[in-house]
Chains A and B, each alone.
Chain A
């Protein structure tokens, strides 16, 4: 499907991801709507929705340097953290009334400390502690679900006290239902890549996924639903990719990164990243007696794990292998920002596992801005030779 005949709804979603501000977000804020920024998919946006906020997933879109953030962070700190914080310092996130940071990694945690002392507009800054284990064999996950439920409850109270809102059980249930609908739609978006010639490119899919955390959820669901109807009924695209690849690693929130692969004839058909497929695999229990417990359980048990969760390697590998089989993947790309220690040894483990499974594997260590795309494209071309053009 050429660009000229892309569904209008899809184009609207792509526009929403292309910059921090988008027409839907502007309409929300112009009407007096409040926005909470958050880092890490382990933070349930349902909690913000239930309080009447628009949840906005923090990113570094549009950032060109880190001059201001570098006063706070060392050059060896995560580039994603530095670029997104730099935007905040420059006032590009002035539409946020609050910022919630997770304890996902050492770099992220310090955004909280720095935000408390930096001249940011957001009046509410909060650190949410997320468990980093799957639970023990003896007691299972119940204690960590209980612990995280308590952390969510504290965040809920803090939101209520600071903003004078009420996060009620019916509102939480409605938010869970709304977000589950988003997940169902996004899963259908990924299903489009099962076909030999995916009807959406990975860069488009990534942009659509990001749009989901950048605009009012109801509007997003409506647009995505409309886009999917057109895409699903569109005729099959002729031809096939040189290779079908899976990308694994921390957040990729710049669609241009995918484009480097696509320009070489590869199709990134699925991923295991913070903004991607990992977030659409499971649904939050809508019937659970306590919605906060349901959210806690979803976050620490049901959602596929990332490497920061202790002892999760086997589970993570199983998820990757399932995706490899389902999407008929020819090769795996492990990407990550420099200094991403949370993924540190996982790359070595993944390389070993892929070698054993006979799946070509490429490790890409990258900066935030794709100044190295020429070198990357050379490595991709060499890598595609190893996949044998099995696509």
Chain B
């Protein structure tokens, strides 16, 4: 089961890099480059490729030359303590390693680092001729905010049409949205299945599944839908059989309330489940709250897009908005996924999270949930090594009595 997932993920990752980190890419499909996430359905319906420079930078940190990419970013003269995924992205950009896109679209979501990357992209001299569109993501969550952002997304379509010299095929967009809704439903089903005890699937599968449908080259395609159907079918089977993750004797279930980053999955999280039976059953990118895209009218469709972008895109949900929303999610996840503990990786680049740790700790304490704050760099293991993180988490689980000493 897992091999099938890994294979597809490897292909997807390769596709992403081929798309962006390759200036010689001679693909004739127009590329839209963003500083972060965007509504994938729109570029797909327009027949464009879409790439996310932050994701490229983040994935770059997992490569053997990852540390050099980060250090190269620092040498450019950017803020020295900025998120290392962004430094890596800056280096990719400034060293001419990114294929020149046909269009650039940027937003201020979902953190200051991604916002400042947008500044660099928009001021990058060799791309001065590239048409660009800049959007403003509000920090508020109400119908007015969705309408405000939805209007900008609609305007972005007009912008794309102008550059491409062709009109949006609205029937095609609806078709893509139907596919997208199917995938969201499948991911929500997978999420439901992951609530089973023992946890039936690898910790990063939900995350990868989520990312796959949103961030990769073949997003919102029937191929991905079929893959997700297979994920759900196999997971359902495991739940029926009462099977947990292969080779894992589940003792502790925890929430990893941050991105998994480029190194933790294969090191810390894998060791924890294998050696201690401590399983990460949820993380904040995997946690999905999607509502279907409303296809009743064009206006409703764009309001749905806006809601997804502002409220339901994982990191935007957690980073751009209030601590009440963040904490509400933690409590909901802990309850629904029967978590024994909350791990706050507190990625050093996540200023928004690191400025609400007390509030998280207080709420966890009030609710009797053990909570550990790590303070790691999820993109750079030179900051705190995987072994140290493993030891700290192991000690924490032992001292809180979640596993035997």
User: Using a CB–CB distance below 8 Å, which chain A residues touch chain B?
Assistant: 71-74, 76-78, 81, 103, 105-107, 109-114, 117, 127, 129, 131-134, 136, 138-139, 143-144, 147, 150-151, 307-308, 310-314, 336, 338-349, 351, 363, 365
Contact = CB atoms under 8 A, between A and B. Distances in A.
A134 B134 contact: yes
A117 B357 CA distance: 12
Given A342-B115, A344-B78, A103 B107 contact: no
Given A76-B351, A106-B319, A136 B155 contact: yes
B133 A345 contact: no
B359 interface: yes
Chain B CB count within 10 A is highest, among A133, A151, A345, for A345
Interface size range of chain B in the complex: 35 or more
Given A138-B159, A339-B351, A348 B77 contact: yes
Interface in B108-157: 108, 111-113, 115-120, 122-123, 132-140, 144, 148, 151-152, 155
Interface stretch (B82-90, B166-174, B180-188): B82-90
B136 A345 contact: no
Contacts of B352: 106, 109-110
B6 interface: no
Chain A CB count within 10 A is highest, among B80, B346, B354, B355, for B355
A310 B351 contact: no
A310 B108 contact: yes
A109 B79 contact: no
Contact of B108 (A77, A133, A351): A133
27 contacts: A74-B346, A77-B355, A81-B355, A106-B112, A109-B139, A110-B323, A114-B355, A127-B322, A129-B139, A131-B136, A131-B138, A132-B108, A132-B115, A132-B136, A134-B134, A136-B152, A314-B123, A336-B79, A338-B79, A339-B79, A339-B81, A339-B351, A342-B115, A343-B116, A344-B78, A345-B120, A346-B119
B106 interface: yes
Nearest to B120: A345
Interface of B: 76-83, 86, 90, 94, 106-108, 111-113, 115-120, 122-123, 132-140, 144, 148, 151-152, 155, 158-159, 319, 322-324, 346, 348-349, 351-352, 354-359, 362, 375
A151 B136 CA distance: 14
A113 B319 contact: no
B139 A341 contact: no
B116 A342 contact: yes
B143 to A, nearest CB: 12
A107 B79 contact: no
Contacts of B82: 339, 341, 344
Contact of B351 (A107, A127, A132, A345): A107
Contacts of A348: 76-78, 90, 94, 120
B86 A77 contact: no
Contacts of A150: 144
Nearest to B319: A106
Given A106-B111, A147-B136, A341-B79, 8 more contacts: A73-B355, A76-B351, A107-B355, A113-B356, A132-B115, A133-B108, A147-B138, A310-B108
Contacts of B375: 74
A140 to B, nearest CB: 11
3 closest Cβ pairs, A-B complex: A110-B355, A74-B354, A341-B112
A340 B322 CA distance: 20
Given A113-B323, A339-B351, A345-B90, A136 B356 contact: no
B86 to A, nearest CB: 7
B355 A347 contact: no
A311 B155 contact: no
Given A310-B106, A338-B81, A114 B358 contact: yes
B119 A349 contact: yes
A197 B358 CA distance: 50
